[in-house]
Structure 1
Amino acid sequence: MKKKIFKFITIGATVLTMTLNTISVNANSSGMGMQLLKRYNSNEIIYLKNKPIEIPVYAKEQTEQLRGVWVSTVYNLDFPSKKGLTEWEYKNEYIRILDNLEALNMNAVIFQVRPKLDAFYESNINPWSEYLTGTQGLSPEWDPLEWMIEEAHNRGMEFHAWFNPYRVTTGSEQLSDLASNNWARQNPQYVFNFGGKLQLNPGEPEVIKYINDSVMEVVENYDIDAVHFDDYFYPFKSGDSWYAKEEEAAFNKYGSGFKNRDDWRRNNVDKLIETVHNSIKTYNNNNNKSVQFGISPFGIWGHKDLHPEGSIEGTGSLTPRTSRASYDDQFADTRKWVKNNWIDYIAPQIYWTFDEKAAPYGELVDWWADVANGTEVNLYIGHASYRKADVNNKNLSWKNPQEISNQLKFNSLYDEIKGSIFFSYRSLLENVNNPVNNEFINILKTEHFTSKISSPTKSETSHSEVQAPLSLRSIGTNYGNILIWEDSPTNDAISYLVYRGAIEDGSNEGKSIVRKVDRDNYNAFVFIDKNVDLSMRYKYAITALDKVNNESRPREQD
């Protein structure tokens, strides 16, 4: 749903108008303010469907947009820095992560809470993670997840709980090496070995139930904003003998009625996605909640050579069949999940450059935008910032500090694209040994994400209009400006956005969100804005957000 235009900040004799609906143009438009996209250090023009690609010269100002970052815990890739941190050390590291994300004006943390049938939270189903305490099943004697969610919400950031559904091990571990209460160790008949690693068999109904129970345990006990799955489903296909033996018993038991084993495999993953979707939807309806379900799959669904126009399953992208694809090589029909509205958002991992022949960025973005068009699914793009952070990357295009900036500008040409997610957190940290990545980070801060912004409206169609708060007062003190507002007990608001604008200097610097404040059981609220220049006068406004992020008109201060 589009949001309304409103005015709330008065600056001298002028009025600053804020528009809350995203303005986009047709992907094929050209003219003033556009530039041809060329290969790095070359005059060679890059094409999409035999037409030169044009992107805006300057980044577009967005009014709502998801700006997310994956925080990986597997292998302690991003966090925590090592296993076995004390509670104080853990909290300090996490606060630094939020500080850095807030400085980049990010608004969503995609945190890996279950990297491999384990948990960064108190669970009756999964053992504590070895990446947290050093030993799988060993308790840290406190619950990190509840605290992490609260800290993210205090910054106005969404917290998406990231699960890896099937992975049991990442290396040569045996079931006997796992915690005694690890579900895979207790149910070895549902586990198979592929490439020296263990994973759950997607063809077993008990596996689907276990994964769904694991997800819903978190949904029901923690104030998360979304459940997030990554791209790990069946292992990518490898040769003709691809672990048919390991799944023979399950196929013989459940595979009747399918033309071939590939269709059965896709149906197994479909069942998981639909089951989780139905469970979250039921929970939301019964509890007046709006927990989202999002997936970040491999960036290629299928190739047009294999899935031409008119195919029942859909038309593939203009990518060579030598490239991997989730439909054929991983048995994940990600397109179907969007078309069936089984998920709230999809964030395909388009981890390539515009001139990558095996998987050209422009072609894949264009394909996914077409898939999302007309559905209730928000489309976000997953960006490979880690490749820019890799000083050893030999792909010349990743040496271009503007590569991801150009991707963001290209994304802005599509109405269907509602934001971006970056993999992963540590790639957004400045590094004295990588000036190209540092320049990219600076471009991100100074050209694209220049101020705080709210995340997109969630794609639900039935809702009541959220009302503005009833009143707002501002009191200046020596330690900050105290804001006090009241709201009706019947309003559907679940949180509030605090906007601030400078009155005295006549600039547009104040056109920004200061804080997102969650609603509690009371109807009166207090927020202290400490990050102000006490010599300045400011004008404030508050808007209310409902459970699907619809935003009310502003309530200006009295």
Structure 2
Amino acid sequence: MIKHFTLLIFSILFFSIGICGQASLQPPATEVRAVWLATNWSLDWPSADMSIDQQKKEMRRKLDALQRANFNTVLFQTRIRGDVFYRSAIEPVSPFFRSSYINSFDPLAFVIEECHRRGMECHAWFVTFPVGSKKQVERMKKTSVVSKNKGICKLHKGEWYLDPGNPEARKYILSLVSEIVSGYDIDGIHFDYIRYPENAKTFPDNDTYKKYGKGMSLDDWRRSNINTLVTDIYKSVKKKKKWVQVSSSPLGRYRPLPVKPNDGWTAYADVFQDAGHWLRSGAHDAIFPMMYYKEELFYPFLEDWMEQAAGRLIVPGLGAYMMNEPERNWSLQNILDQVDYARQKQTAGQAFYRTETILSDSKDILTTLSRHYYQYPAKLPPLTWLSTTRPAPPKNLEVFKTRNGTTCLQWEAADSDDEQLSYTVYRSFADRANTENSESIVITGLRQNKIFLCVENTDVGIYYSVTASDRFHNESEPCVSAFYVHSTFER
């Protein structure tokens, strides 16, 4: 049974509600707002030489900042290059996380729990084929997959990779995926580098090709290898937990287009990622293409991704890090124009690489997003190809003032045994809230059935209502509204 909880972030989280605030352009009520949170080289987390408590505090601060800015999805780097950020029976703990900590602190479990407490989803970001440089593999010694099973690995340009054409290598990847999906309450698993490496023309897989090529051209066989893995992953994940989303971040340009007919760096032709096929064949729930380009390398290629969607989610990955001077020193406007264009084309949302660029407020990106683009919370898009069944609405909504002057909302689930529900709270001047109006949303993704609000006493009457959503993001009808006048006088 779901208990009555207060929403905890520091001690109790209080939301400040401004009824009259208006944005110049109202954002959609439903969209993905994601960040990649990198653990490789401790790029985003954890900082070096921290105790467990310090690491936890650092992560909570980052998630608090993302939650305040109304982000709703964290892509947390869980597998790096043959090493991991969770308790694994298969691969060693990353050197960027102290192995001595792992028995008392599981970083993946911690981040999932903290994301859920803040109404955000956590997707396990999984680097697929790379398993480390020669030096990294040597440092890992007997714990590396290269040492344990060298026959499923290939050395290419000084880097080790699992061989996509080797069925045993694909089985190895599936074992890791199964370990994560079965062992953790993730909302999605997100594949990076699910492709052949750069300079793939010289990838040393002639022996594998001769053994398994079956008369296909080398290019078609390589694409088939990736397609087979993607399909097997999707089937495996859905068999275990149907609601866990399967996504990936392919190269930002799917195929050459007339505007760039000689493009030498596309997913389909150069690294054998046929992500359009993954969508059309129903083996993916979402694509987060890494669109770290400007202008003619961004806009037409985003349109091409939308043509490939086949009813699934397209979430362009935006290169916020390109605003940094060591990179390309882009202006903030470059990124904002891409957000505007993505919304105009009705993509499922946006993802930003990477967290530190956002939270450091580089060129005022966090300030601008939170004030003008993400000023209201956003629900996540429903996964209607997985389920269309809507939960029953909550019941018995109550609104009352507490002794310390805060406003408490509490309600009951229609099905008291369903612990997979989350809630969205709406406020409105009308008896029935418009659930498609982002300004009406107070909070979404709430996994408790009680919340405290800090609301100015204006003698204004407000209707509150609550909806329930399942793990597929199917949303119920609003419950019966509760009317409340925020006043200093007792009623």
Q: Deviations over 1:384-422 (max 9, x none)?
A: 00001x124456xx23x221111111112223x110000
The two structures have a TM-score, normalised by structure 2, of 0.85
The two structures have a TM-score, normalised by structure 1, of 0.76
Q: Which amino acid aligns with 1:483?
A: L
2:452 counterpart (519, 522, 529) = 529
Q: Which amino acid aligns with 2:370?
A: K
How far apart, CA to CA, are the structure 2 residues paired with 1:185 and 1:459?
44
How far apart, CA to CA, are the structure 1 residues paired with 2:84 and 2:327?
33
* SS class of match (1:203): coil
Q: CA deviation at 1:470?
A: 1.9
* SS class of match (1:163): strand
* SS class of match (1:217): helix
* SS class of match (1:328): helix
Q: CA deviation at 1:60?
A: 4.5
Question: Are the structure 2 counterparts of residues 509 and 319 from structure 1 closer, same or farther at C-alpha, using a change threshold of 3 Å?
Answer: closer
Matched, 1:438 2:363: yes
1:68 counterpart (34, 37, 51) = 34
1:319 counterpart (260, 278, 303) = 260
How far apart, CA to CA, are the structure 2 residues paired with 1:165 and 1:200?
8
Give yes or no for contact 1:470–1:486 (8 Å, CA) kept in 2: yes
2:166 aligns with 204
Give yes or no for contact 2:29–2:377 (8 Å, CA) kept in 1: no
Q: CA deviation at 1:253?
A: 1.4
Give yes or no for contact 2:234–2:246 (8 Å, CA) kept in 1: yes
2:302 counterpart (365, 379, 386) = 365
2:469 aligns with 545
Q: CA deviation at 1:142?
A: 2.1
1:421 counterpart (351, 375, 385) = 351
1:267 counterpart (197, 219, 224) = 224
* SS class of match (2:264): coil
How far apart, CA to CA, are the structure 1 residues paired with 2:39 and 2:427?
38
Question: Are the structure 2 counterparts of residues 540 and 498 from structure 1 closer, same or farther at C-alpha, using a change threshold of 3 Å?
Answer: farther
How far apart, CA to CA, are the structure 2 residues paired with 1:419 and 1:387?
19
Matched, 1:132 2:81: no
* SS class of match (1:484): strand
Give yes or no for contact 2:253–2:267 (8 Å, CA) kept in 1: yes
How far apart, CA to CA, are the structure 2 residues paired with 1:218 and 1:174?
23
1:489 counterpart (379, 395, 415) = 415
Give yes or no for contact 2:194–2:273 (8 Å, CA) kept in 1: no
Q: CA deviation at 1:509?
A: 11
1:298 aligns with 251
Matched, 1:221 2:183: yes
2:388 aligns with 463
1:337 counterpart (278, 286, 289) = 278
Matched, 1:513 2:442: yes
The answer to which structure, 1 or 2, has the higher relative contact order (CA under 8 A, 6+ apart) is 2
Alignment size in residue pairs: 453
Q: CA deviation at 1:426?
A: 0.8
* SS class of match (1:111): strand
Question: Are the structure 2 counterparts of residues 370 and 101 from structure 1 closer, same or farther at C-alpha, using a change threshold of 3 Å?
Answer: same
Give yes or no for contact 2:34–2:73 (8 Å, CA) kept in 1: yes
Q: Which amino acid aligns with 2:248?
A: I
* SS class of match (1:132): coil
Question: Are the structure 2 counterparts of residues 515 and 378 from structure 1 closer, same or farther at C-alpha, using a change threshold of 3 Å?
Answer: closer
Q: Which amino acid aligns with 2:244?
A: V
Q: CA deviation at 1:515?
A: 4.7
Runs of 5+ in structure 2 lacking a partner? 1-18, 430-436, 484-491
Q: Which amino acid aligns with 1:104?
A: A
- Tell me which moved more, 469-478 or 90-99: 469-478
Q: CA deviation at 1:438?
A: 2.6
Give yes or no for contact 2:81–2:131 (8 Å, CA) kept in 1: yes
2:118 aligns with 155
% identical equivalent positions: 28
Give yes or no for contact 2:379–2:444 (8 Å, CA) kept in 1: no
How far apart, CA to CA, are the structure 2 residues paired with 1:541 and 1:362?
39
Q: CA deviation at 1:497?
A: 2.3
* SS class of match (2:344): coil
Q: Which amino acid aligns with 1:237?
A: N
Matched, 1:248 2:206: yes
Aligned CA-pair RMSD: 2.7
Q: Which amino acid aligns with 2:234?
A: H
Question: Are the structure 2 counterparts of residues 209 and 475 from structure 1 closer, same or farther at C-alpha, using a change threshold of 3 Å?
Answer: same
2:433 aligns with none
2:378 aligns with 453
- Tell me which moved more, 337-346 or 443-452: 443-452
Q: CA deviation at 1:364?
A: 0.7
Q: Deviations over 1:507-537 (max 9, x none)?
A: x99733335333xxxxxx6423154447877
How far apart, CA to CA, are the structure 1 residues paired with 2:34 and 2:228?
28
Question: Are the structure 2 counterparts of residues 531 and 178 from structure 1 closer, same or farther at C-alpha, using a change threshold of 3 Å?
Answer: farther
Q: Deviations over 1:130-150 (max 9, x none)?
A: 1111x6x97453212222111
1:119 aligns with 84
Question: Are the structure 2 counterparts of residues 138 and 517 from structure 1 closer, same or farther at C-alpha, using a change threshold of 3 Å?
Answer: closer
Q: Which amino acid aligns with 2:252?
A: G
2:434 aligns with none
How far apart, CA to CA, are the structure 1 residues paired with 2:328 and 2:113?
41
Matched, 1:477 2:411: no
Q: Which amino acid aligns with 1:451?
A: Y
2:339 aligns with 408
1:193 counterpart (155, 161, 179) = 155
Q: CA deviation at 1:174?
A: 5.6
How far apart, CA to CA, are the structure 2 residues paired with 1:190 and 1:540?
58
Q: How does 1:82-121 map to 2 (within 5 A)?
A: 82=48, 84-121=49-86
How far apart, CA to CA, are the structure 1 residues paired with 2:381 and 2:465?
20
Q: Which amino acid aligns with 1:283?
A: K
* SS class of match (1:458): coil
Give yes or no for contact 1:346–1:378 (8 Å, CA) kept in 2: yes
Q: Which amino acid aligns with 2:249?
A: S
How far apart, CA to CA, are the structure 2 residues paired with 1:412 and 1:491?
38
How far apart, CA to CA, are the structure 2 residues paired with 1:343 and 1:528?
35
Q: Which amino acid aligns with 1:403?
A: N
1:30 aligns with none
How far apart, CA to CA, are the structure 2 residues paired with 1:364 and 1:276?
27
